[in-house]
Amino acid sequence: MSCEHDSYGLKETVYKEPFNTNRPILDNDYYNGDGSIFYANMKKHQDLKDIHSKMISNEDKVTPVALWEFFPYASEKETVWQKGYSISKSLKRYFQLKETLPSQIWMVCLLTYTIKHSEKLFLFLRKNNQDFRNHFLNKYFEVIQILENKRITVLSKKGPSKYLSNRNVKPFYKESLTNVQTDTVEEFFKDLWGISSNTE
């Protein structure tokens, strides 16, 4: 299958400068739309959304978020490349990291670098099914001793939703805390992003 698609600016950003921490998030609906990963249930909190949107798109400051994607580049979803072209079972082994590609090893290196060099970090796991945990995640976290690192908080989804919202986070480890308040959107944004309605 051959398919033309947008490069999303990756050639001039991620590929040339993988360690550039001042890289604004792409300006598209995936990140900035009302139904994007960051802005679920935010209709009553446009002020927080505006502040956060400016924060993740500011070229003069460290970008406070990164997404580590498992799906194939420019695919529609985990089971479909493009409309009419499904992803075979043999390739799904790579998404579960039962087998690895060089590009996936590079992604693990970038993730490890980020974890080791962050003063404070929240990891929000959008993919954490049992198969993935058993074949990769649990072993990886054990090797990098993530439980011993008090600067790192590992969060998981409560349900099938993709959103990083106060209604959809829980501790990855049952014995740990979320370290973020989840009662209200305001408290959640203050703890997770360090912003409130009064933030300039």
- pLDDT tens across 145-168, in order? 998 888 999 999 998 888 899 999
- Mean pLDDT for all residues in the chain: 83
Report, as an integer, the average pLDDT of 119-144: 88
Q: What is the pLDDT of residues 53-93, one digit of tens each?
A: 999 888 888 888 887 776 555 566 767 777 788 878 877 77
- Long-range contacts: 163-172, Cβ < 8 Å, 24+? 163/37, 163/38, 163/40, 163/41, 164/37, 164/38, 164/40, 164/124, 164/192, 165/40, 165/41, 167/40, 167/41, 168/40, 169/124, 172/123, 172/125, 172/128
pLDDT at 9 over 90: no
List of residues 6+ apart from 54 with CB closer than 8 A:
none
Are the CB atoms for 169 and 185 separated by under 8 Å? no
pLDDT at 190 over 90: yes
